[in-house]
Amino acid sequence: MITTDFVPGSPSWLDLGAPDVEAATAFYRAVFGWQAEPHGGRDTGGYTLFRLDGKAVAAVGPLTEDGARSAWTLYFQTPDAEATARSVERAGGTVRVPPAGAGADDGRFAQLTDPQGAQFAIWEPASYPGMEAADEPGTLVWTELYTTDPAAAQTFYRSVFGWTTQDMSLPGGNGTYTLLTPAGCGDDRMHGGLMGVPADLLGPGGTPYWHPVFGCQDCDATVGLATGNGGTLSMGPETAKGVGRLAVCNDPAGAEFVVLTPEGEL
């Protein structure tokens, strides 16, 4: 369960890098009913907050790295961005953007890459803790990593964040799914999973990646809104026993996300 009482290693923010911020904003407003406003009510280079019922749930901004493609970035909470960045390098990862301040006194962030190539970020909060709503329709309910080397990925993220892991067999003997929980927390704070995916099924370049899972009241209807507003469908909708009804979607610029109606809400 993703919550907003963040602990070290838990998801605390997410944003989208988009080639056209206005187009991306229009798409996600149509799909999830998000409101959009400039961060802090001021011009911040196109960085735009998404709100749901007045609560910040995500953001979108222009692509800033050379050769970057449109994608969602998940941020994990840290009490010390510099120390976490150093631990990433010691564990074989890469610091793409070193720790830096955000806003006047919002906090500090860094952009990172794990040894298999999956990109993620960290957030050290100051005056801005992170997302203000989670685990409900229209908000982040789960995080997921597709990787070419699940064992190596587990070792890396345990080293960096101290996550505990729990393997479960996928239905039909189709491999293993690893559940992720922040250090020292119980299963009620489980926040994501990782699974092995062959490189040829990972899209352009075969590079591992994280993607967000957003809750919704009606998976099929939400897929209809996504495809009706220029998005595409990669998988589903399908019902997964013990999970719910879900689908993998791409926005018009190609950024992947999952929509899920939890089993108890079907």
Q: What is the 3-state secondary structure (H, E, C) of 171-209?
A: HHHCCEEEEEECCCCCHHHCCEEEEECCHHHCCHHHCCE
Q: Return the pLDDT at 59.
A: 97
Q: At a CB cut-off of 8 Å and minimum separation 6, what does 226 contact?
A: 27, 31, 232, 233, 249, 251, 259
**Alpha-carbon separation of residue 146 from 8, 12, 154, 177 (angstroms):** 22, 20, 12, 10
What is the block-wise mean pLDDT of the chain (266 residues), using blocks of 10 residues?
A: 95 96 96 89 72 96 82 97 98 97 88 97 95 97 97 97 93 84 94 94 89 97 98 94 93 97 78
Is residue 2 one of the residues assigned to a domain? no
Choosing from 125, 151, 178, the residue where a domain stops is 125
Range of the domain at 109: 11-125
Q: Return the pLDDT at 265.
A: 66
Say what the pTM is: 0.95
Half-sphere exposure of 79 (CA within 13 A, CB side): 2
**Same domain, residue pair 190 and 121:** no
Is residue 6 one of the residues assigned to a domain? no
Q: Return the pLDDT at 91.
A: 98
**Same domain, residue pair 67 and 101:** yes
Task: Decide if 183 contacts 162 (C-beta within 8 A).
Answer: yes
> How do beta strands 55-62 and 11-18 pair?
parallel
Q: Return the pLDDT at 40.
A: 61
**Same domain, residue pair 41 and 112:** yes
Task: Decide if 225 contacts 245 (C-beta within 8 A).
Answer: no
Distance CA 59, CA 54 (A): 13
Distance CA 182, CA 9 (A): 5
**Same domain, residue pair 23 and 107:** yes
Q: 35: how many CB neighbours lie within 10 A of its CB?
A: 15
**What is the domain-level CATH number for residue 151?**
3.10.180.10
Is residue 5 one of the residues assigned to a domain? no
**Same domain, residue pair 146 and 32:** no
Q: What is the pLDDT of residues 179-232, one digit of tens each?
A: 999 999 999 999 999 999 999 888 778 999 999 999 999 999 999 999 999 999
Q: Return the pLDDT at 182.
A: 96
Is residue 185 one of the residues assigned to a domain? yes
